[in-house]
Structure 1
Amino acid sequence: MGPPPALGPPSPHESTPRITEVLADVPPGVDPSRDGRRDAIGDEFVELVNPGPFPIDLTGWELRGGGASFRFPAFSLPGGSYVVCFNGWHQSWVGPVGDDEIGPAGPNPRFGDAWVFTMRRGRRGFANDGGEVTLHDAGGGLVDRLAWDGTVHDRSLVPGPTGEAIAHPPGPGRVGCSPGERTPDGMADQAQRDDRDRTP
């Protein structure tokens, strides 16, 4: 599976959300949702960022992958903020969490003040041996994607310099994934890609 299609950088007047992290293979002994128990499917997640300074209305936007989809309810993502969408199977939650019917009441401090959703997708998870996650706007247009070939195990995937999926970079306190967490320079997972010259 090849790298994602090239996409243009956001203009100063509007932002384009980016996929910054996908966890398709939950590491052993790791509990990304922080509910006290690891679940090989329920702890899977997709992380997005709004790289610009202005809010993005994600109402009706859709994440697709693993034969399933998640459509955002009425929700606006503030500039510079992150969204983490967990599969949600067999999960319990602390702090504000939204679903496909209503958005979270606010950012969740347990995840670096990211806005957290549960997809409530049941037993339908991402494929560890290769797959992709795509982000579509309210009209169905492809906005971003991250594809992987199954060579990375027991850690999340982030976009590399040219858009290919690479292993989540190691760092202090990281255990193969970092839902909603930012690196010291304010970037998440070395994966914010609005500096790339990409065309539709």
Structure 2
Amino acid sequence: MRRLTLYARSRQVPASLATVVIGAVLVWALTRGGDEGPGDPRLHVLVLGAGAVAASIGLSGQDLALDRTAAIRWVPRRTAHVLFAAAVTGAVPLAVPAVGGAVTGAADGGADGAVLTAEFVEFVIRDSAGLMGLAALGAALSGGHYAWTLPFGWLAFSFVAPPPTSTPAEVGAWMMLPPGTPAATWTAIALTVAGTTAYAVAGPRR
């Protein structure tokens, strides 16, 4: 338990977690009463994207040489770190309706006593996993300090991209598409696997 605590502190996990929660609440509060309809995914994607960016802070430690020492089994630790961050990032928007209203405009029930649907849960799992895969890939390619650039850049592109009319366009707009869309699902899976594997094996770039 002590080792886990030390690891969490070295990776700024408490600060990242607080940022994820605060970011979700702020986004919900600032957009409350806006024009987003029940099927508008932008608010949910923004919350998940902000969570992935905040969680990416901990993808590198304070000592990059330690991140490459053979004395520590880094592969399972890094894999668990990415998957745990994805789970927490996805859990926050699922929990916010229970404590404050409705981050889940796509859920049944609206702002009063929102009831989560299986489709919304699938949407959150897909996007949180894919976004954290992007963050992990960013850490492997550019280092922990710049791990946020890939999820942030793809998120920004998704907000301005026109409605997709082809499979490549669906791949580009994957995080905005409804759950069950094959191109979006497979893109998220590919990003999760590729990002997690690259980060677990190579670690954060110097």
Judge same fold: TM > 0.5, yes or no. Answer: no
TM-score normalised over the length of structure 1: 0.28
More strand as a share of residues: 1
Return the structure number with greater relative CO, CA threshold 8 A, min gap 6.
1
The structure whose Rg is larger is: 2
TM-score normalised over the length of structure 2: 0.27
More helix as a share of residues: 2
